[in-house]
Each structure stands twice: as C-alpha cells, then as structure tokens.
Amino acid sequence: MKVGSSVDAGRFVAHEALRDAQGEMISDGIAALGAGGFLLAAAPTGIGKTAAALAAAIEVARSSDDPPVVMFLTGRQSQHRIVVDTVRKINERLEPDIAKVRLVDQIGQQGMCINEIRHEHRALFSRLCADKRGTRTCRPWLADANLIRPRILRDPLHVDELVSMCKGRDEELPHGICPWKAARESASSADVVVCDYNHVFVEAVRDSSLSAMGIGLEDTLLVVDEAHNLPDRIRRGFERRITMKVIRDAIYEVEEHTERTESEGVLLDGAEADSKNVELDRLRRIKAAMCRLRDELPKWFAEIDGGLDSSRTDDQRVSMTDFLGRVSAILSEAVERAVELGDLVKMLQSIRVDIDKDDDEIEEETACMRLAILLRTCMQNHDSPAFALVHDKLGGEENRLTTHLLDPGMVSESLLDECRGAIVMSGTLFPPQMYYDLLKVPKARVSIVKEYTSHFLTERRPVLIAKDVTSRYAERGEENTARIREHIHSVLRQTPGHVAVFAPSYAMLEQIVLEDEDWIVRSRQLLEERSGASKEQMDRMVDKLHQLRRTKTPALLAGVLGGKLAEGVDYPENILDAVICIGLPLPPPSARQDALRDYYEDAYDSVRAWRYASSQPAVNRLMQALGRPIRKASDRALVVLLEKRLMQRGFKICMPDGVHVVESVDSDRTARHTERFFKKYPDPARHSE
C-alpha cells in the first residue's frame, strides 16, 4: 500500500494508493475509535472519506475481543451504493487469511417490498404493510428468511440486488421472501450494516429496528455520513403539527373505533362482555372529552390571537405549560366524565381505523396518533428550554400548533455515549467544532475534531464571488435583479456544457431565472425543480442531463438552495460544468428562529448564537450546492456565488479554509474568469476512479 505520509492504515483499505488526507483520516479514525471515542471530520469531496471511515471502523471492530457492528448511517440511497462498492473493493484486496467483510444494505420497507402493495402511496403503504404483517396475510413476510441469509452474508449485495434475489420463486418459496425482513434478520451477523439515520436517532424506529436486528446500541460503532444534516434530522423527529381539523378528524376516528368495538361485543357474554363494556365506556368518555376540546379550544386560540397580531413575524411562541393547563381544564369540565390528560394520550394511541384505499389525502399517522404525540411531547418537555411550542395560522385562517426541538444534543448526547464510538463526517461539517457542540459529543471520552484539506479543489473548482449583488431584502430591486441576471448571462455565454442555478426560494428562482426572457437563457434546455418533487423525478432529471450531453445540447438546471437538486442528488461523470448560487439562504424571521437564537445565547454566547443559528447553516447550504459538481479528483467545475455579503467577516469566517475564492466586481469580470477557466479546462472528466 502506498500513502503520501507514514500512516498505519490497517488491513481494510479499498485502494492501493491513499491520498494524504485519506491516510490521515484513517489514522485519526483508528486512534479515536480505538480509544472508544469520536472523530468529527470535515472531509471535502475527493479525499475518499467513505473508504477512510470504513477502513478505520472495520479495523477497530475486527481488532476487538467482542467485535461491534459498524452501522453506516446515511440519508441518501446513492451513498448506499458507494458503501457497498467500497466494501467489495476492500474484500478484493484482503489477504487470503482474513475473513471477508460481511455487509447488509437496507432501506425503507416500501423500497424493499415485493408485495403488490409496494405501488401504493407511501402513507397508505405503511398502514397496509403493518396490517398485513399483523394479520399474517403477507406471504413473503411469512417465508423463512434463513433460506437466503447465507447468500446475503457471503458477498456484499446492493439493496436492489437483494430485492431481485428475494423475488425469485420456486417450489420451496412460491411467493418469494420479504427482503426487508431478510436484511433485518441478517444484520446481527454482519460486520457492516448500511441504513438510515432513523435507525439510531429516532426513538420509535430505534426501539423497533435495533431489537429486530438483534443489535444493541452498546455493541455498535457508528459512521454518520452527511452528518451536517444530523441536527436537523433529529429536530424533525420531534416536530409535530396539529390544527382544529386534526381534532375533528380524531373524533371521527374514535367513533369508527367505537363502532367496531360495539360490533365485536355483540356475540360476547360473561367476563368478556363485561371487559368490552368497560372499554366502550372509556371510548365514550374519550369522545366526549374530544368534543369538549373541539368546542372549547378555539376560545384559547382567540385569547392568544392578540400576541400573533402584534408579532413581527407570522407566528408566535406560546407556553407549553399554559397550553397543557387549558387542555387539562377542558378535559375536567364535565365532572362525571372527566378525563386525565395522560389517560387521553394513552387512549388516542390505541385507536385503530380502517384503511380507505381510495383516500387521496391519507396520512402516515392517524389524527389520533398525531394529537397524542404532540400532547405527549408537551407533557414530557413543558419545563425544558430546549423545546418550543409555536402558534401560527395555516393559510392565514386555521390555528396551528407546532412543537420544535431546539437542541439536538438532548437526543444525540446519550446515544453517542451509549455506542462504542463514532465517526461523524461530511464535506460540509464546518466548522466541526460547531457540530461537536450541537450534538453534545460526550466530553469524558476522546474526540478528534478536524478539518481535512483537498488540494485538487483549488484549481479545478474555483469559487467566484460577485461583489455587486445580494439577496438582502433591503437591497432588492430592479437594478439588483438586472445585475444578478447579467452575471448569470456571463456564465452561460462562456460555459460549454450544463449549468445549475440555485436560489434561496422558489419565488426568487421564478423572478430572476424563470421569468428571464434573454435569448441566452431561452436557448438552453430548462430543467426545473418543482416543490414537492420526488427523488425519482430528480433522478430522471439527472438522466436527462446525460442524454442532453450526448446530443451536445446545453441545459440550465434550476433549483433552490437546500432543495433536492442542491443537496440530495449526485451528479456523476462531471455532468455539471458550472454552478451558480444566488444570494444567501438565511432562515426567514420566525418565532422558532428567535427561540433557537435565544437558546444558543444561553448555551454559548451571542456571537456563536448568531453563527450557529443563522450564518453558518446558510453558508453550509451554499457549500453543499457548490460541492455538487465535484465528486472525484479529476472533475472540474466553476462555481459562482452571487452574494457580496460573503466578503464580510461575519460570513467569510463561515467558509472553509480550503475554498479558493476569486473576487468579481461586475459581470464583465465574471465573463473573463469563466472564459479563462474553460479555456484551461475545456472538457469534463471522462473517466471514473
């Protein structure tokens, strides 16, 4: 094995030659995990962070007297394939006396389903799948997964290969085997399990998933990929919204459940009939309580509307304690049929409703469950400053309440402390110290917090910052819009291939790009991101880019910063020649944002509060977008950031040291820089690594 510096990279490397930063990351990973600690790695594209993390984690796991399972957590299915391919390369290079690395790759149930219900809407699928498993009517689920486990563990399989294999039908397995079940039951025998963050960082998923896999968190080494997303993923796990419509729908669900219970009790007698009558009485009490909430809760909303009217934002923070107090008072108004808040939550969680396959608006959770989870969240956290309850009006009319977790460390700290160690990494885990703080990495254990460098980015991905334009609200106007368009036109004229343009919002994308009638914009094939578009639609858009390249038709890809095209999609084979980012995607003013900044001021200081809550997340979204076109060392692309505030100190310090910045005073300078770049690098990379 060749490496740029003297590094012991262990036995599980995927490549003969290691880049300097890759070898350094492997060494750091082995040191941190070997001491039962953590590596937080800001590892830019091109250094081979996936291979480095796997090499370190597998080496430490295999060297242990009681080998843990390496759980590789990622939110992107494209990364699953990279992990599987990397482990295959590791196995090809292993010495004959070293056992091959066993891997299990799994995604969500629907993505692995071979039953006919896999084509249903996601929310409907979840209900149907649970129903079929509960009633034992899913034949692939009932099949013996042990028949395929040896093949899963023999050589690493992509999840689609496993699904295809499980579809196979013969006399022994006339209906195939459930791939999701087979993967879960094989996980405890694997060295590496590839899955989503939720399997560890969402309580309901973790409790059911890890136990089904036969894995305890204390027996794992974690590799968290794209970890810049982890704080928000944890926060979203506690975000629940209810409106008065949810309460009305919950009443209908209680009525349906009650009717079913009554029909089941008709043929019962004796003790069973008595038990059923007790249950029916509880259901009637719950319905009566829910009806009181429906009738009385609007009065509380009317009382707090004054705060909303005077708020500088469209929402307001309200007290969880006050909300719970009003709900409890309403529940106890009818003395003879009073209901305790805790009992209401338990009953709501027990309500079951029939599935209507023709309902186009079916939710993944029942209305009863949504209400129960919001109430439970408020009950458990009403005295915690790390939680906020926000009131606004949906569509400007219907009252809505939303729970927000402000501090993801409330969840991650104990989980990280329970596992044997972790590598937390991303190309935009910057600054890594911020994520160390936000995730509350246990301070009693060893941690290496480090930013790695990728030297090839300097020349092959220059970052041009325009000093004459901004998305700052106070400076918006026709002149600013015209200057932004002139920069875009300059890049389009000088760029031979595909260009992506990302804006902070769909409204700004529409105003600046989609309404631009200039011939240089209209002459390109427009591929536009739509709000709510699926991953499959995004993948088809990338396929379209490749088709257009083959016919030498330049495209303009238009999306939003933080959206699927700017963060959730990979662009292989250097398919993007240039990326233009308009403005700064700073979070808009809101009660939630105010609460977040106040919480950080109490936890840290005012400077870090602003950086952690606003400026750094905005810059990291830009970093995610500009990282899209460069996936390998041989790739080349020009990046243009149309925002003068990035030259101000408060935002400049948010950018990684490895970013090669070139200033542009106007669109003419942008045109000259673009022309010079593509003269030096006229062709996209044609080979893979």
Q: pLDDT at position 76, please?
A: 80
**How far is 297 from 482, CA to CA, in rounded Å?**
50
Secondary structure tally for the chain: helices H, strands E: 29, 20
Residue 526, both tokens: 């427009």
What is the tens place of the pLDDT at every residue in 71-129?
999 988 778 999 999 999 999 999 999 999 999 999 988 899 998 888 887 777 887 88
Q: pLDDT at position 116, please?
A: 85
Residue 243, both tokens: 């409106």
Examine domains 57-235+409-446 and 240-405 and report if their fold is the same. Answer: no
User: Exposure of 161 by Cβ count < 10 A (0-12 exposed, 13-18 middle, 19+ buried)?
Assistant: middle
CA angle centred on 38, ends 34 and 43, rounded to 5°:
110
Those residues whose C-beta lies under 8 Å from the C-beta of residue 28, and which sit 6 or more positions away, are 39, 41, 56, 448, 450
- Among the ranges 12-21, 118-127, 473-482, 537-546, which has the highest mean pLDDT value? 473-482
Q: What is the DSSP string of 464-506?
A: EEESS----GGG-SHHHHHHHHHHHHHHHHH-SS-EEEEESSH
pLDDT at 348 over 70: yes
What number of CA atoms fall less than 13 Å from residue 413's CA on the CB side? 10
Q: pLDDT at position 397, please?
A: 86
pLDDT at 479 over 90: yes
Q: What is the mean pLDDT of the chain?
A: 90
- Classified as helix, coil or strand, 391 is strand
The better pLDDT of the pair 548, 455 is held by 548
pLDDT at 269 over 70: no
Give backbone dihedrals phi and psi of 477, rounded to 5 degrees, phi first. Answer: 165, 180
Pairing verdict, β 499-503 and 578-582: parallel
CA angle centred on 523, ends 517 and 526, rounded to 5°:
85
CATH superfamily of 457-680: P-loop containing nucleotide triphosphate hydrolases (3.40.50.300)
pLDDT at 179 over 80: yes
- Classified as helix, coil or strand, 231 is helix
* Position 436 confidence tier, pLDDT thresholds 50, 70, 90: very high
CA angle centred on 305, ends 303 and 307, rounded to 5°:
105
Q: What is the DSSP string of 173-190?
A: -TT---HHHHHHHHGGG-
Q: pLDDT at position 6, please?
A: 44
Give backbone dihedrals phi and psi of 65, rounded to 5 degrees, phi first. Answer: -65, -30
The better pLDDT of the pair 262, 240 is held by 240
Nearest CA among 292, 374, 297 for reference residue 333: 292
* Position 418 confidence tier, pLDDT thresholds 50, 70, 90: very high
Give the mean model confidence (pLDDT) for residues 580-600.
Answer: 95
* Position 334 confidence tier, pLDDT thresholds 50, 70, 90: confident
Those residues whose C-beta lies under 8 Å from the C-beta of residue 129, and which sit 6 or more positions away, are 109, 110, 113, 115, 117, 138
- Classified as helix, coil or strand, 320 is helix
CATH of domain 57-235+409-446: 3.40.50.300
Question: What is the CATH class of 240-405?
Answer: mainly alpha
CA distances from 358 to 33, 121, 132, 248, 354 (A): 51, 10, 18, 20, 12
Among positive and negative, which fits the CA dihedral 125, 130, 132, 133?
Answer: positive
The better pLDDT of the pair 390, 121 is held by 390
Residue 485, both tokens: 């368009």
Torsion angle of C-alpha atoms 265, 270, 272, 274, degrees rounded to 10: 80
The lowest-confidence range among 286-295, 302-311, 463-472, 548-557 is: 302-311
Give the mean model confidence (pLDDT) for residues 450-462.
Answer: 79
The better pLDDT of the pair 117, 483 is held by 483
pLDDT at 60 over 90: yes
Those residues whose C-beta lies under 8 Å from the C-beta of residue 648, and which sit 6 or more positions away, are none
Nearest CA among 381, 357, 353 for reference residue 368: 353
Q: Where are the domains of the chain?
A: 57-235+409-446, 240-405, 457-680
Amino acid at 478: E
* Position 644 confidence tier, pLDDT thresholds 50, 70, 90: very high
**How far is 117 from 124, CA to CA, in rounded Å?**
9
Residues 682/688, Cβ–Cβ less than 8 Å: no
The better pLDDT of the pair 385, 309 is held by 385
**How far is 316 from 391, CA to CA, in rounded Å?**
5
Give the mean model confidence (pLDDT) for residues 421-435.
Answer: 95
Q: pLDDT at position 335, please?
A: 63
Q: pLDDT at position 657, please?
A: 79
SS3 content of the chain, % helix, strand, coil (to 5): 55, 15, 35
Beta strands in 74-205 (DSSP E): 103-105, 192-195
**How far is 51 from 89, CA to CA, in rounded Å?**
9
The better pLDDT of the pair 377, 539 is held by 377
* Position 176 confidence tier, pLDDT thresholds 50, 70, 90: confident
**How far is 81 from 77, CA to CA, in rounded Å?**
7
Q: pLDDT at position 674, please?
A: 97
- Among the ranges 203-207, 444-448, 627-631, which has the highest mean pLDDT value? 444-448
Q: pLDDT at position 5, please?
A: 42
Give the mean model confidence (pLDDT) for residues 511-533.
Answer: 92
The better pLDDT of the pair 334, 688 is held by 334
Residues 579/625, Cβ–Cβ less than 8 Å: yes
Long-range contact list for 664-668, CB < 8 A, 24+ apart?
A: 664/464, 664/465, 664/466, 664/467, 664/487, 664/640, 665/467, 665/468, 666/466, 666/468, 666/483, 666/486, 667/466, 667/483, 667/486, 667/487, 667/489, 667/490, 668/490
Please tell me what DSSP assigns to residue 217. Answer: G
Q: Edge-to-edge, what's the strand order for the sheet holding 499-503?
A: 525-528, 555-560, 499-503, 578-582, 638-642, 463-466, 661-664
Pairing verdict, β 638-642 and 555-560: unpaired
Residues 320/286, Cβ–Cβ less than 8 Å: no
Q: pLDDT at position 2, please?
A: 37
pLDDT at 376 over 60: yes
